[in-house]
Each structure stands twice: as structure tokens, then as C-alpha cells.
């Protein structure tokens, strides 16, 4: 009689068979070199396969011994303590690196509930929490509307190394260089950094609201800021052209100036139009025109830019109502990095 494929012995399976070997997970895999999003995708797939295998094994153990046990269980990737803490503190972060496997989602939920209960008990006893809760600690008290026709002055609010004792600004700039030029970040790293900053702001400001009547928050305004650039036409191609304005507008958001989609569209469209005009009248193009008797064509914005399609898209770039109806951001990358935009 041939052996059962998984059990490796002929049927029926005896009582001495070690079913525990088919219901115990192997040692976790080393996470080094793999992003959190890749590991979550692996764990999600293997978790489902292992659950089916364990169920088959248990049915064999408790019922039909002529049936085979399940397939050998596969190992899952481990998580670092910092990664677990990041998932506990930020729901946006969980979404960016997810979907999470069920066991990790349950662990994150248990930690959140335990902390909430502990905080509630401390409050009932009249005791002050040992640490100041971060959630909701960053409030946009005096938001400022942009004035049409008036451009905010470039931000100069950089830390002074002579006054900041816990942070060496000069050393940081020497090591990482300045963020004034677009070359400091690739388009992909910009997306990762912007998403990390949004996650931090959500932690500090509280959950985002889709209610148009809800008070403005730093997190909500920055989210509209981020989505504007992520969804702008030819993101990677135009990144180097609009980066300087994005950096300036980002600083304005953190100073309390509200997002204004129309203003953003005018600024970015204007930069693209100027770039196209400079290319048209470059020395190489001038030689082409001199050899071509036809009159030059005036550069025009493509139909897929926000300004040219603003009417078709309703209020998708208009002030307080921008992107409150839903998020169509693709989250192109799930790599976890430190905030590098501020």
C-alpha cells in the first residue's frame, strides 16, 4: 500500500502519529532585506494556507484516520517591536503597508484596547497619565485662508542650532544635505515620506473626518496637499518642476494656512507652462524654427492637467471640499521610512 502524501505513512494513521508536528508553526523567517508590505503580503497568503492545512489535520486526527493530514505548515515573517508599535499608533500606516494578516490585525487591536482601558482607568482614578497622550495634541486653532492674488512668502522657519539643544541642525544638513532641491528625494521616496508625515499628523491631530463641516486639521489639510500632487498628471515626469512649490506649500500647511486647490493648480500649471515655453525658445529649438518657415506653435497645457479638467472634476481641487468624498490615492509604495520632508 502506498504512503499518504503528507503523512508519509500508509493509511490508516495510528494513534502514535505526532499530529502536533502538523499543527505547530515553524520558526519565523528572518525579515532582513524585505519591506514590511512584502512581508505582510507573504504572511497573509501563508496564514490562509496554514489554516486550511491545520483544519485538514484536525479532521483526520478527530475523525477519519484513512484520510491524509494537511500539508506541512509554512513559516511566517517576523515583525520588529518598532514595526508593531508603528501599526498600533497609526491606522493610515496600517493601510499603507497592508493589508495585515489576521493574527497581526488582532494583535494591534488588542494592544490598542488595552491602552484605552488603562488610560480610562487612570482617568477615573483622577490620576494624570504618565505621558501626555499624542492623539489630538496638535490642534489647528487659527487656520488662515489664502488671499487671491497674494502669495505667501517662502518659509524661513528652520531650527536654529544655537537654540535647539537636542537636535543638531547643522550636522543633519551636513549628513543628509538640504531638502531645497528636488534631487534630495526621488518621486518614490517623496511619496513614502509624505505618507509617513500624514500618518504622524493623523496621530497628533486625531482621525480624519469626511464631514465638510468638521473643523480643519493639520492632518486633513496636508492630506489634501499630498493627494493633489500624487494625482497630478505625469507625477514622476513633472516632480522636478513642481517640487519647489510643493515644499513651500507644505511649510505653509504646517503654519496653519489652509489648502487651496485652485491656487495649487495655478501655481503648478504656471510652472509647467513656463518650462514648456523655455524649451520652445531654447537655442536648439531656435535653430529648428529658423530652418522651418512655419510659425511656431504656442505651448499649451495638456488636457490631463488639473487646471484644464477642473470643470469636469467638480470640486476635486476646491478648498475645504477637496478630496473629502473619497481617497483615490494608489499608495504606490509600502516601504517604511522615517519622516524626511521636514
Task: Report yes or no: 109 and 91 within 8 Å, Cβ to Cβ.
Answer: no
What is the reported pLDDT for 135?
54
By the 10 Å C-beta count (0-12 exposed, 13-18 middle, 19+ buried), 47 is classed as middle
Q: Where are the alpha helices (DSSP H) in 125-257?
A: 169-176, 187-205, 218-230, 235-254
Element (H, E) at 112: helix 102-124
CA angle 175, 331, 212 (to 5 degrees): 110
d(CA 119, CA 318): 39
Structure confidence at residue 183 (pLDDT): 82
Please give the pLDDT value at position 74: 93
Contacts of 242 (CB under 8 A, 6+ apart): 229, 232, 267, 268, 271, 272
What is the separation, in whole angstroms, between the first and last Cα of the chain?
A: 70
Query: What local confidence, expressed as pLDDT, does residue 266 receive?
Result: 92
Sequence ranges of the domains in the chain: 19-124, 169-321
Residue in the structure block whose three cell numbers are 512668502: 153
Residue 166: all three cell numbers together: 537636542
pLDDT at position 334: 37
Model pLDDT, residue 75: 93
Rounded CA-CA distance 78/30 in Å is 7
So what's the pLDDT on residue 200? Answer: 86
Per-residue pLDDT of the chain (342 residues; tens, 9 = 90+): 688 888 889 888 888 898 888 899 899 998 888 888 999 999 999 999 999 999 999 999 988 888 889 999 999 998 888 888 888 887 878 888 888 999 998 988 888 888 888 877 766 666 555 555 555 556 666 676 666 555 544 444 444 444 434 445 566 556 555 677 778 888 898 999 899 988 888 888 776 777 777 788 888 899 999 999 999 989 999 999 999 999 999 988 888 889 999 999 999 999 999 888 887 776 666 666 566 555 555 445 444 544 444 444 444 344 433 333 344 343 333 333 333 333
User: Could you give the angle at the alpha carbon of 276 between the alpha carbons of 274 and 193, nearest 5°?
Assistant: 75
Angle at 279 between CA 274 and CA 281, to 5 degrees: 95
Amino acid at each position: 500500500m502506498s504512503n499518504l502524501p503528507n503523512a508519509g505513512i500508509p493509511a490508516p494513521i495510528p494513534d502514535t502519529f505526532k499530529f502536533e508536528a502538523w499543527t505547530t508553526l515553524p520558526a519565523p523567517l528572518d525579515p532582513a532585506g524585505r519591506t514590511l508590505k512584502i512581508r505582510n503580503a507573504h504572511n497573509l497568503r501563508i496564514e490562509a494556507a496554514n489554516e486550511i492545512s491545520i483544519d485538514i489535520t484536525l479532521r483526520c486526527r478527530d475523525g477519519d484516520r484513512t484520510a491524509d493530514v494537511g500539508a506541512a505548515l509554512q513559516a511566517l515573517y517576523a515583525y520588529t517591536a518598532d514595526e508593531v508599535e508603528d501599526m498600533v499608533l497609526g491606522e493610515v500606516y496600517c493601510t499603507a503597508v497592508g493589508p495585515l494578516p489576521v493574527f497581526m490585525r488582532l494583535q494591534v487591536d488588542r494592544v490598542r484596547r488595552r491602552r484605552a482601558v488603562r488610560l480610562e482607568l487612570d482617568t477615573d482614578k483622577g490620576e494624570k497619565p504618565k505621558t501626555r497622550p499624542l492623539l489630538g495634541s496638535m490642534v489647528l486653532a487659527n487656520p488662515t485662508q489664502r488671499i487671491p492674488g497674494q502669495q505667501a512668502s517662502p518659509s524661513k522657519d528652520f531650527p536654529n542650532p544655537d537654540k535647539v539643544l537636542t537636535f543638531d541642525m547643522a550636522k543633519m544638513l551636513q549628513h543628509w544635505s538640504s531638502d531645497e532641491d528636488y534631487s534630495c528625494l526621488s518621486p518614490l521616496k517623496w511619496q513614502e515620506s509624505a505618507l509617513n508625515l500624514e500618518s504622524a499628523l493623523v496621530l497628533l491631530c486625531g482621525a480624519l473626518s469626511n464631514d465638510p463641516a468638521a473643523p480643519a486639521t493639520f492632518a486633513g489639510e496636508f492630506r489634501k496637499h499630498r493627494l493633489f500632487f500624487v494625482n497630478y498628471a505625469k507625477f514622476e515626469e513633472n516632480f522636478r518642476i513642481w517640487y519647489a512649490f510643493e515644499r513651500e506649500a507644505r511649510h505653509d500647511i504646517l503654519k496653519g494656512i489652509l489648502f487651496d486647490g485652485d491656487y495649487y493648480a495655478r501655481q503648478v500649471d504656471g510652472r509647467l507652462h513656463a518650462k514648456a515655453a523655455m524649451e520652445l525658445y531654447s537655442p536648439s529649438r531656435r535653430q529648428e524654427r529658423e530652418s522651418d518657415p512655419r510659425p511656431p506653435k504656442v505651448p499649451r497645457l495638456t488636457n490631463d492637467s488639473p487646471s484644464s479638467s477642473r470643470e469636469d472634476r467638480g470640486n476635486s481641487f476646491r478648498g475645504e471640499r477637496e478630496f473629502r468624498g473619497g481617497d483615490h490615492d494608489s499608495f504606490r509604495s509600502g516601504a517604511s521610512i522615517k519622516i524626511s520632508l521636514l
